């Protein structure tokens, strides 16, 4: 009995030990992640952890009823817009209630709020409250005394407001110049701008969208009834706003529409969007639904934004309960949060604000505020940004290195270290870290400076190599070395050098020389296509083996280009390179072209055989071999500003080969140019038809195999 009691006690102690040893990070029920340079969501350490959940009863009040907004004043006091209870709650930074504003005296009478939606506190403590269902903005002083109200604005400009417009303010903000900005329901022209006395001054930052061309076309030919059922081409409505310390307005747009990349904006007083978007991903919330942690699909629904020190800002996504934080350049710093009933999760997050480093999320469905504290991981990121913004690059580098110790896959840390090295003229180290950070523009900048430095140090050697190369080319041309080499390897010379008594022993050698001569003839074809393609067919200057080698070299050039194009231009992931796919992507269209070409031209009085078509097509691709590989090597030594040279050479190779294919088709089949163009168009259509039928065939086979497998599985279970 004592033995059993001892085991029970030990198990209880072990369970307690496991519970106590579970960290707070392990207890949270959301995933933290970030998007890398490839657009993939990558798990990260938690940047923020929930430390407190505040309900109405925790404030010593009745439950919060459909609260809509949070605001932190300059003295760190918190204002809660408790819309369902028609009150404003003011607390200190420890969440002790200081005041409750549920009525005020106006003209000797008690007035109350009716479904207030938003609040803004000026540095002097004046409150601007968006009293939605009373259709007004109420201004109270720091003591809660009535100052004035702003009712529906009026304009002397005809048509400034839509006929259906009713003033229903949701959010309000006041800048240092005493301009009042209002977001109102059903108003798509932008932010309402008023002066401090409530006089209408215009609209700011209208987020207009362009209609989809297909929708526009159908709307032009549709009937009136059909047009009414179509969605309206309306601009997108702002969902929230916040002022930064310089008076600029950060705004969010609930859904993206045609301008999904502008769902977060930073407006200057003239309404121009000046948000910097230089990160690897655009500031817009989730760029796609994460691969794990949620089954919710679709783009983020951005409902609030808060400006933070160091030009950072955080936005709230109500669809997945995520908080996204960006720096001033638009780099994504971290993502955390989620939807649900667990620790750190929310049901319907509606508002976001910050008290110092803390972040507060208001959940209007659950009627609670969740307080998140930063982890050491987030604080190090903030510290690195702080040092960098103040030009203290050494301290910024050390902070980023500490971040990498906690998350070795954090690309922004590598970019931060690289930028610090760049400022210190350590170009090689900057290039290495920009490469790890997947930052091509930064890498280009560092490489340009590194190249300039190396050229300056080795100018004499470089000029000597160039002069010797020019001299070698001149001598080769002067003594006609190319002609001598061509004659040496020509078919005639090959035949003359093989004596009759050694033919058997030198057959392989002769075959190799013949093939080399046929390969060398490809140079003549691409520069003299009329004579070249004629001789390929009638003088038998080409061989099937040479054409096959050319096809193999084309495949090699594309694989080489995909794998070894310079970092600045190469957006392919090397680990995703599949040699079978690469070969198929060249061989399949090549063979389709040859077979469909032969099938159609046989019916169109074409003179070429399938061998003639094969040879002409393979020889036409020679420019791809001659240009792709040197251009790929060149791509490793150019900057972003010089990318046009690479694009020019690649385009030259493609159009040169296409032109040769047109001429080859014309000469091989003895067509005039009009018939050649029509034939090529028919060949392309035929290739598409063959692909469609082939895919349809394999799809039917796949369905049949699945059906047979299901029947077999059913029998196996029943037997």
d(C-alpha 301, C-alpha 257), whole Å = 12
* Rounded distance between C-alpha atoms, residue 578 and residue 601, angstroms: 35
The predicted structure's pLDDT at residue 573: 77
Tell me, what's the pLDDT at 698? 84
Spatial separation of the C-alpha atoms in residues 269 and 247, rounded to whole Å: 8
CB 240 within 8 A of CB 252: yes
pLDDT for the residue numbered 1? 46
Question: From CA 466, how far away is CA 457, in angstroms rounded?
Answer: 16
Burial of 310 (0-12, 13-18, 19+ CB in 10 A): middle
Burial class (CB in 10 A: 0-12, 13-18, 19+), 618: buried
Going from the first residue of the chain to its last (719 residues), give the mean pLDDT of each consecutive group of 10, the final group possibly shorter.
51 46 64 88 94 94 95 95 96 94 92 95 95 94 93 74 83 94 87 91 73 57 55 67 92 71 87 88 83 71 93 94 94 93 91 95 95 96 92 91 94 92 90 92 91 78 74 66 50 46 48 71 89 86 89 92 90 79 90 92 87 92 93 91 90 94 91 90 90 86 84 73
Determine the pLDDT at residue 493. Answer: 45
Phi, psi of 291 (to 5 degrees): -75, -15
Q: Where are the beta strands (DSSP E) in 195-300?
A: 200-204, 238-243, 249-253, 264-267
Q: CA 4, 6, 8, 14: dihedral to nearest 10 degrees? A: -150
In the chain, % helix, strand, coil (3-state, to 5) comes to 50, 20, 30
Helix (H) or strand (E) holding 34: strand 33-35
Q: Which two tokens stand for residue 532?
A: 């070249």
Rg of the chain, C-alpha, whole Å? 36
What per-residue confidence (pLDDT) applies to 292? Answer: 57
CA 598/CA 604 separation, integer angstroms: 10
- Please report which helix (H) or strand (E) contains residue 654, including its range: helix 643-669
Q: Is 231 exposed, middle or buried (0-12, 13-18, 19+ CB in 10 A)?
A: exposed
Structure tokens at 491: 């078919």
Taking residue 391's Cβ as centre, other Cβ atoms within 10 Å add up to 9
Pairwise CA distance, residues 671 & 683, whole Å: 14
- Any idea which residue has 């046929």 for tokens? 518
**Residue among 360, 322, 453 nearest 53 (CA):** 360
Round to whole Å and give the CA distance between 190 and 249: 12
Compute the Cα dihedral for 354, 355, 357, 360 and give only its sign: negative
Can you give the pLDDT at residue 494? 46
φ/ψ (deg, to 5) at 73: -80, 175
Convert the pLDDT of each residue in 643-701 to its tens digit.
Answer: 899 999 999 999 999 999 999 999 999 898 999 899 999 999 989 898 888 888 888 88
Which phi and psi (to 5°) does residue 151 adopt?
-95, -165
d(CA 64, CA 72): 18
| CB of 292 closer than 8 Å to CB of 313 | no
- Structural domain boundaries of the chain? 393-457, 525-701
Model pLDDT, residue 19:
41
8 A C-beta contact, residue 66 and residue 59: no
- Return the residue matching tokens 């049901």: 347
pLDDT score recorded for residue 536: 86
């Amino acid at each position: 009995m004592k033995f059993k009691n001892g085991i029970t006690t030990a198990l209880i102690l072990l369970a307690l030990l496991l519970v106590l040893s579970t960290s707070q990070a392990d207890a949270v029920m959301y995933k933290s992640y970030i998007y890398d340079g490839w657009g993939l969501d990558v798990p990260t350490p938690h940047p923020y952890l929930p430390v407190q959940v505040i309900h109405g009863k925790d404030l010593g009040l009745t439950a919060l009823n459909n609260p809509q907004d949070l605001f932190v004043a300059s003295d760190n006091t918190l204002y809660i817009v408790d819309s369902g209870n028609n009150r404003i709650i003011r607390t200190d930074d420890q969440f002790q209630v200081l005041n409750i504003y549920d009525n005020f005296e106006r003209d000797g009478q008690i007035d109350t709020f009716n479904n207030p939606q938003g609040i803004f506190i000026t540095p002097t403590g004046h409150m601007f409250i968006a009293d939605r269902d009373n259709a007004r903005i109420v201004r109270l002083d720091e003591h809660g005394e009535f100052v004035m109200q702003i009712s529906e604005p009026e304009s002397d400009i005809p048509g400034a407001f839509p006929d259906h417009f009713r003033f229903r303010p949701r959010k309000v903000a006041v800048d240092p110049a005493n301009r009042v900005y209002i977001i109102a329901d059903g108003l798509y022209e932008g932010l309402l701008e008023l002066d401090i006395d409530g006089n209408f001054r215009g609209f700011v930052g209208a987020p207009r969208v362009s209609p989809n061309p297909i929708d526009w076309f159908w709307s032009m030919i549709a009937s009136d009834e059909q047009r009414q059922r179509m969605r309206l081409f309306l601009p997108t409505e702002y969902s929230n706003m916040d002022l930064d310390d310089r008076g600029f307005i950060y705004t969010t747009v609930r859904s993206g529409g045609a301008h999904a990349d502008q769902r977060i904006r930073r407006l200057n007083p003239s309404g121009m969007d000046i948000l910097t978007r230089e990160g690897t991903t655009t500031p817009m919330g989730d760029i796609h639904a994460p691969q794990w942690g949620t089954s919710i699909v679709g783009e983020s629904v951005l409902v609030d934004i808060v400006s933070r020190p160091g030009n950072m800002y955080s936005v709230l996504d109500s669809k997945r309960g995520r908080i996204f934080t960006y720096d001033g350049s638009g780099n994504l710093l971290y993502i955390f949060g989620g939807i649900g009933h667990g620790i750190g999760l929310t049901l319907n997050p509606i508002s976001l604000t910050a008290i110092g480093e803390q972040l507060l999320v208001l959940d209007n469905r659950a009627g609670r505020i969740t307080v998140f504290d930063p982890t050491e991981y987030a604080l190090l990121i903030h510290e690195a940004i702080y040092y960098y913004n103040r030009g203290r690059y050494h301290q910024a580098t050390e902070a980023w290195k500490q971040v990498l110790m906690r998350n070795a896959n954090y690309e922004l840390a590598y970019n931060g270290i690289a930028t610090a090295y760049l400022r210190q003229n350590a170009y090689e180290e900057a290039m290495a870290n920009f490469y790890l950070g997947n930052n091509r523009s930064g890498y280009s900048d560092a490489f340009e400076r590194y190249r300039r430095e190396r050229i300056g140090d080795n100018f004499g050697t470089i000029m000597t190599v160039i002069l010797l190369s020019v001299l070698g080319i001149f001598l080769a041309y002067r003594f006609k070395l190319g002609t001598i080499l061509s004659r040496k390897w020509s078919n005639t010379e090959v035949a003359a050098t093989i004596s009759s008594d050694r033919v058997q022993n030198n057959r392989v050698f002769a075959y190799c020389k013949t093939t080399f001569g046929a390969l060398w003839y490809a140079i003549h074809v691409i520069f003299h296509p009329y004579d070249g393609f004629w001789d390929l067919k009638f003088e038998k200057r080409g061989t099937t083996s040479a054409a096959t080698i050319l096809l193999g070299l084309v495949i090699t050039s594309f694989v080489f280009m995909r794998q070894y194009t310079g970092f600045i231009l190469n957006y392919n992931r090397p680990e995703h390179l599949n040699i079978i796919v690469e070969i198929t992507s060249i061989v399949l269209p090549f063979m389709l072209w040859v077979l469909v070409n032969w099938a159609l031209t046989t019916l169109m009085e074409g003179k070429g055989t399938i061998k003639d078509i094969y040879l002409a097509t393979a020889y036409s691709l020679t420019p791809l071999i001659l240009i792709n590989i040197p251009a790929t090597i060149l791509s490793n030594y150019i900057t972003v500003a010089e990318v046009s040279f690479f694009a020019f050479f690649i385009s030259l190779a493609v159009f040169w080969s296409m032109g040769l294919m047109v001429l080859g088709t014309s000469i091989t089949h003895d067509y005039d140019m009009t018939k050649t163009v029509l034939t090529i168009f028919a060949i392309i259509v035929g290739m598409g038809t063959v692909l469609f039928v082939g895919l349809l065939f394999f799809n039917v086979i796949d369905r049949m195999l699945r059906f047979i497998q299901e029947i077999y599985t059913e029998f196996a279970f029943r037997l």
